[in-house]
Structures are given as C-alpha cells and as structure tokens.
Amino acid sequence: MVHAHPHEITIMACGPLTNLALAQRLDPEFAALVKELVVMGGSLNPRQTLDNRAAADFAREFVNTPRREFNIRFDPEAASMVAHAPWPKVTIVPVDPSTATQLSPALVDRLAKAARPPVAAMVRRMEPGFPMWDEIAAAVWLDPALVTDREQLWYDFDTQFGPGYGDMLTWRDAYRPGLDEGHADIVRHVDVPRMEALIERILARR
C-alpha cells in the first residue's frame, strides 16, 4: 500500500513493533514511503496524576523503572530497528501523558450515551480504570492541537541484555550519540477534556 500511495499513509502502532521491523527488513523502501509513524510506546518519567486506586496501581510499575514500557519491552530489538528506519515523520506517545487519563465509569457512561446502539453496547463492556494509552495516540493524530507539551528528541531503545533491557533512550541535540538514532516528536502532555470531547463527538457520528 505504501508503494501504491507513497507519502499518503500514516501508520498507527499501538503494540509491539515487531511487524514494522519485519516490514522494513523485507522492504528497505517501506519506512521512507510512509507519510507518518505514530507510536504508542516508550516511557520517559511518568508520574501519578489522578488520585484514585486504579491510577496508583498503574503508577507503581514506573517508580523504579521509569523508562520501561510493555510495547517496547516485548521486543526491544524490533523497536530499535524501527528507531533506525528512515521515517519521514515520527510521533511518539509514551506512557507519560496517559497518567492524566482514565476510562472512568462516568466516562464510559458518557461515551456510551453518545454512541450509536451497536457501538454503545461495546463501550459499556469496556473495563473501567485503565489509562487511555491508545486513545491518546489516535486522538493526537486526528487533532494535533490536543498536545499541550511536546519535545523533539533523538531516541533509541536499549537492546543490551542487562537491567535496562527494553528501556527507552532519549537525547537532546547536544547529547545525541550520532549512531543513526531516530528523531521524533515526543508527546508529553495533552488536553484531556478536549480529547474526551473529541472521542465523544466521533462516537456520536451517524
């Protein structure tokens, strides 16, 4: 598809990056033909933001390992291959902004009331309490103005078999190692009420 529609396709990666690494290995032109890559993955230094039990439970894993996140840790070698691929544009949504979000019972009810009947039934089956990881990535792609704090950083992922295996590595311009690491727009914070309103509007479309 990227060969048929060069520089028109945005890839939304909301899981481990194994498939993208394999695609790039099979077709070295793949990444360069994409319009944009949006990655939900990685972690800088997330902090608990919301004051409730679910938020505290999710925040515990980052107290001693602030750079570790599941999507990257699942396959660090693939993540590093993706970091070194020649994407024209990369946006990374790490865990950090998700700590200000939560699929609360009240939000589930609000979204279900806005949605069409078949979708509403699916929304009501969603388990409340989870941060809105993938929803942020999709929302930021749909409306970049949702981002209230971002930073351009060079990035890679630790593939050394040690305590930091799978950790996200980032550098500002003056400190980058210059080893063909990736460059990305890193999302630090988003306007949560505006994001929730966007999701509600989309679900309400007939």
Number of structural domains found in the chain: 1
| pTM metric for this prediction | 0.95
Share of the chain above pLDDT 70, in %: 100
Q: Is residue 107 part of a domain?
A: no
Residue 153 sits in a domain of what CATH number?
3.90.245.10
Nearest to 196 by CA among 80, 75, 114, 107: 107
Q: Is residue 200 part of a domain?
A: no
Q: Is residue 109 part of a domain?
A: no
Q: How many CB atoms lie within 10 A of CB 146?
A: 20
Dist. CA 162–CA 27, nearest whole Å: 31
DSSP annotation string for the chain:
-TTTSTTT-EEEE-S-SHHHHHHHHH-TTTGGG-SEEEEE---S-----S-SHHHHHHHGGGSS-TT--HHHHT-HHHHHHHHTS--S-EEEE-SGGGGG----HHHHHHHHHHS-HHHHHHHHTSPTT---HHHHHHHHHH-GGGEEEEEEEEEEE--SSSTTTT-EEEE-GGG---SS-EEEEEEEEE-HHHHHHHHHHHHH--
What's the pLDDT at 97? 98
Residue type, 68: R
What's the pLDDT at 126? 94
Q: Is residue 178 part of a domain?
A: yes
Q: What is the mean pLDDT of residues 164-183?
A: 97
Q: Is residue 206 very low, low, confident or very high in pLDDT (cuts 50, 70, 90)?
A: low
User: Is 70 exceeded by the pLDDT of residue 151?
Assistant: yes
Q: Is residue 58 part of a domain?
A: yes
Q: The domain containing residue 180 runs over which residues? A: 10-102+132-190
What's the pLDDT at 205? 85
Q: What is the mean pLDDT of residues 75-87?
A: 98
Q: Is residue 53 part of a domain?
A: yes
Dist. CA 164–CA 89, nearest whole Å: 27
* Each residue's pLDDT tens digit, 5-38: 999 999 999 999 999 999 999 999 999 999 999 9
Q: Is residue 68 part of a domain?
A: yes
What's the pLDDT at 185? 98
Q: Is residue 18 part of a domain?
A: yes
